[in-house]
Amino acid sequence: MNVALAIAAVLSGLFSIFLFSIPATPRTPRRILAVLFALVSAQFILTFIQMGGDTTGAAARPVVAMVMAPLLYLHLATAARPSGGLIWRDALHGLGPAVMFLVQAFTGGKYVDLLGSLGTGIYLVLVLVLTGGGSARFLVRGPQAALSLVRWRFVVVAVLATMLLADSVIALDMARRNELAESRPLLVSALIVSLALASGLVAVLHRAPPLRWIFEQARRTEPASGDAFKKLLVHMDLRRPWVQPDLTVARLGRQLGLPQRVVSAAVNEFAQQSFSRWVNGYRVRASMTILAEDPDRGLLDVMIDVGFQTKSNFNRAFREETGMTPSDWRRAANDPPV
């Protein structure tokens, strides 16, 4: 049990640090998620302390748990806003943890399990209501971000449902045996969290699901540059990895199970360009389509949607491809012919 709790705490902490380190905007949704994983790590540490006989862990665990569901809701809520940030009404979500603290302090923890399950259930419903409109709810962030977020909402709903189930099963088990160190549901929960976080770390490091990445590593051979370039072209068109602002040769190679040197050689040989200019070409062409189809869309939104991080890089790459700035190109594309 102690080993499982320690592994889960460490992996949760690593995931929190990773999310804090991501520079892409908007940062608030990611930072909320990073705080959540930091609390998950703290929760496992508090459980370990409680198992050692210290009552501090028992008193703090329900309050920490009560914060997690509101954080998941706020993560999605801020991601759906044009500003990507918090607003004053978000402070109301602190009422649940405050009530839990008071109940814990004045009742000695008598009703905390019931209150925790009720709170998680309420936020599960709130998330379903928030995302009920599908991708339309997230279109303010751009079509690509909306597609990613509408998929991510299912993960958030699944996490909340799992939390609700796990909390209920652990509470029933504790009511029967009243010995945390012997709770099998707690052990299973720690192992599931550890497996999920380990899979998540592999996925974010290699931009591919863990099982697919392991399979590709086992069967990977050194393909010819021509075959590699064909795979790259299909991947760039279908998966649109160039919308990732931090896309590198190494990351693109990991997505396809190709060595970095093979990707670099294929682009240099067949595209006759550097890797950065080749990727920027996809971004510029996508931005041209958006500017032509939606001339009222802000240039900053277009820039972010296609994967550029700074306006100077956007303007420079656009000028290299078209000989014009984005604003000049949009004006020329949408002016009626004389």
What string of pLDDT tens digits covers the 338 residues of the chain?
A: 567 778 878 888 887 887 787 766 678 888 888 888 888 888 878 777 767 666 665 677 778 888 888 888 888 788 777 777 888 888 998 888 888 888 877 776 677 777 888 888 888 888 777 766 555 666 665 655 666 666 777 777 777 777 777 767 766 666 665 565 566 666 666 666 666 666 655 555 544 444 444 444 444 455 567 788 898 999 999 989 999 988 999 889 888 888 888 888 889 888 888 999 999 999 999 999 998 888 888 999 999 999 998 999 999 999 998 899 999 888 887 765 54
> Are 2-206 and 222-334 the same fold in CATH?
no
Burial 97-127 (b: 16+ CB within 10 A, else e): beebbebbeeeeeeebbebbbebbbebbebb
Range 2-206: architecture per CATH: Up-down Bundle (1.20)
Which among 144, 146, 141 has a CA at the least distance from the CA of 25?
141
- Put simply, whether the predicted model's pTM sits higher than 0.75 gets the answer no
**Who contacts 136 (Cβ-Cβ below 8 Å, separation ≥6)?**
146
d(CA 22, CA 322): 31
Domain boundaries, the chain: 2-206, 222-334
**What is the 3-state composition of the chain as percent helix, strand, coil, each rounded to the nearest 5?**
80, 0, 20
d(CA 49, CA 81): 39
- Superfamily of chain region 222-334: Homeodomain-like (1.10.10.60)
Which among 275, 263, 254 has a CA at the least distance from the CA of 205?
254
Phi-psi region of 178 (alpha: psi -120 to 50; beta: other; left: phi over 0): left
